Amino acid sequence: MLSLFRRQGLMSVIYGGIIIAIIAVFVIQFRPNANQKSASINQACVAVVKGHCIDPKDHRATYRLLIPRDSQGNLMTGRAKTMGLAKIAADGLIERELLDDEADRIGLTVTDDEVSDEIIHGFIHVSVPAERPDLAANLRVGDGRIYVGFKDSKTKEFDVKVYERTIRNLVGRSPAEFREAQAREILAYKMRKIIVAPVRVSEPEALASYINEKSSAEVTFIPVHAGYVARYAIDQNDADIQKWAADKDNAKKVDELVAQRISAAEPKANHVRHILVRVEKGATADEKSEALGKLAAGVARLKRGDAFADVARDLSQDPGSAEQGGDVGDKTDGFVAPFRDAANALKPGEVTSGAVETQFGYHLIEKDDPSKVSQVSDAIKKDAQRELFVKEKTVTVGHDLAAKILASMKAGKSADDAAKDAVATLKGKTLPTAPLTVLPPAKSAAAVDAGAGGAPPAPNGRDAGAALLDGGASVAEAPVVPKVFTADNDPDRPQAQTSNDFNRGGDPIPGLDVKESTKVIEFAFGTAKEGELYPESLRGEDGFYVFELKSRKAATKEDFAKDKDTYLQTLLAAKQAEAIGVYVRRLRDAAKDEIKVDNSYLETSSRDGGVDESDEEEEEP
């Protein structure tokens, strides 16, 4: 029995007393797989895997082991819940049972000695889902183990009392229960080692991977944003829009879009809507002017007859309410004083006569008028017709504008000059803007009907921008004049930009999908020379892109030689994690009909797992 406590083949005489004291703890009817419990009808199980019940206490113990700790060692339960650790713990245990079942199939076992050796050396095994190798590192579960020590603070040696106390406090299990669970964990651990044993990384393979990963490139690109094209390059003539909308297929598209928005668009009694253009603390006069100019463009749309909710959806920078048509509900108690006072002073159907300033930025506020349902419905339909008409035209016009830039660059012009030439074709085009001033703080109730029917989208959705915790607005020292946006001063105008360094697995130009990004990468790392232009524009989520290769830096064999040892280890670890992930996915797919999960245990970790919550020293982040 002394072999249970060997340490590299040698043990100090002092361990004699320890051995006698803990034999009773370690030898409690132990045999490999002794705790394989078949799920009974009335037994509570977090999950049943091929007939084996994962006990709530086992789940709770695993959950507690994975909870992050702060610098003082306190459990960060708030972060654990945010991370979804209850589900992660359950997934790890399900994986453990599948691996143990596979181990039984091939005749792999765990000996009493192996369990004892790991405990003596201070390790606790815990399963983290193979599909999340990054998570294991973040949760300090290196190689599937957590080092605890179980050592006396004075002797620095293993101590049975320290072990028992630590296990009770850490996982809420008796030494016997803990030992049984560890036997199953170690069996899964051994199975993982068998899975990764054949995995190898050759030096040529590592070199090729290194060069792909470490080689980098930059491109110069010019975006032609769809929004910019819509604002300055599309003639939004009412007659043309109505002609387009008369087409049967187009009318169907309009009806579908209206159906998506109309229920949320209908004005509701006492509901308040707003459009927010954010102004950061310490903003310059020019930044404030630009923000107010954006809001003034929104006012122009309201005067044109657009629904308030559609303008809010397009323009508002309050993500909590923008998709709801600016609707922040009918309660103003929690709003900052300038917003609250202005909103409370409005009558149904009224819009503030100017911008209301708070610490979040500039707001235009409207109060719903349920009597204007028909006007709002008409406005929503007209907005939908205009939006879809412009969207369709933008594709062709945007492509043509990108083609002009591409042709200029092919003719030898620089990216900057080609972009300026394209913008010059739209010179004189101005974004319609209505007069707008910032309301003085003292006149918080000043409001008049801005001539816009109020309204669209929906339920209350307030974030930090619109949930408006009480506080005051900064007072401008001088009147802010709204900026008038034109084709040649709009921030979204075509301008030459330089990408960040990227490798073959990178994202060279934000806004391109995988297929288009692949074209950029193949071009950048192919035979193209620096300064060479890609032969066509690429279409992205927000328009078209013209680009050329700015620079390319290729990693070399000499670079690899310097990093070889570390890189080989890193690549091997990644391949091993992938191998385990593939193996476990195969096991899960094969056993999917034999895995039953009680999701109530995954929603919260507070269900009774045999641990008294009062014993936990937990602290919210």
pLDDT tens-digit map of 364-394: 999 999 999 999 999 999 999 999 999 999 9
| pLDDT over 80 at 20, yes or no | no
Encode pLDDT of 306-350 as tens digits.
999 999 999 999 988 998 999 999 988 889 999 999 999 999 999
Mean pLDDT of the chain: 85
**Residue 169 corresponds to which amino acid?**
N
Chain segment 211-227, per-residue pLDDT in tens: 999 999 999 999 999 99
Give the whole-number percent of the chain exceeding pLDDT 70. Answer: 85
Residue 462: the pLDDT is 40
What are the E-state strand segments in 291-352?
351-352
Q: 25-199+571-615 and 227-448: same fold?
A: no
Question: Would you call 108 exposed, middle or buried from its count of C-beta atoms within 10 A (0-12, 13-18, 19+)?
Answer: middle
Cβ atoms of 98 and 49 within 8 Å: the answer is yes
**Which residues lie across from 142 on neighbouring strands?**
145
pLDDT at 11: 36
Mean pLDDT computed over 4-21: 37
Q: pLDDT (tens digit, 9 = 90+) per residue, 496-548?
A: 999 999 999 999 998 899 999 999 999 999 999 999 999 999 999 999 999 99
CA-CA-CA-CA torsion sign (462, 464, 466, 467): positive
Whole-number pLDDT of residue 38: 60
Averaged pLDDT for residues 130-139: 83
Q: Does the 25-199+571-615 domain belong in CATH 1.10.3470?
A: no
List the chain domain ranges: 25-199+571-615, 210-225+493-557, 227-448
Mean pLDDT is lowest, of 297-306, 320-329, 437-446, 565-574, for 437-446
CATH topology classification for 210-225+493-557? Chitinase A; domain 3 (3.10.50)
Task: Tell me which of 139-153, 542-556, 570-584 is least confident.
Answer: 139-153
Q: Which region among 109-113, 417-421, 443-447, 479-483 has the lowest average model confidence (pLDDT)?
A: 443-447
Of 28-32, 416-420, 546-550, the poorest mean pLDDT is in: 28-32
At residue 320, the pLDDT reads 85
Name 229's Cβ contacts closer than 8 Å, sequence gap at least 6: 394, 397, 398, 401, 543
* CA nearest neighbour of 523 among 510, 537, 544, 541: 537
- The pLDDT of 262-276, averaged and rounded, is 91
Q: CATH topology for 227-448? A: Chitinase A; domain 3 (3.10.50)
Over residues 177-194, the mean pLDDT reads: 96
Q: Virtual CA dihedral for 505, 506, 511, 513, nearest 10 degrees?
A: 0
**Rounded distance, CA 364 to CA 348, Å?**
15
Strand order in the sheet with 595-597: 52-54, 47-49, 595-597
Residue 398 predicted with pLDDT over 60: yes
pLDDT at 591: 95
Backbone φ and ψ of 75, nearest 5°: -70, 130
| Structure confidence at residue 453 (pLDDT) | 38
- Kindly state the percentage of the chain with pLDDT values over 90: 73
pLDDT at 4 over 50: no
Q: What is the pLDDT of residue 40?
A: 56
d(CA 60, CA 477): 59
Beta bridge partners of 54: 47
Do residues 59 and 609 lie in contact, with contact meaning Cβ atoms separated by under 8 Å?
yes
The pLDDT score that the predictor gives to residue 454 is: 37
- The span from the CA of 274 to the CA of 266, in Å, is 15
Q: CA angle, 544 as apex, 543 and 548 as ends, to 5°?
A: 145
What confidence score (pLDDT) does residue 604 get?
53
State the pTM of this model: 0.69
Q: What is the pLDDT of residues 277-308, one digit of tens each?
A: 999 999 999 999 999 999 999 999 999 999 99
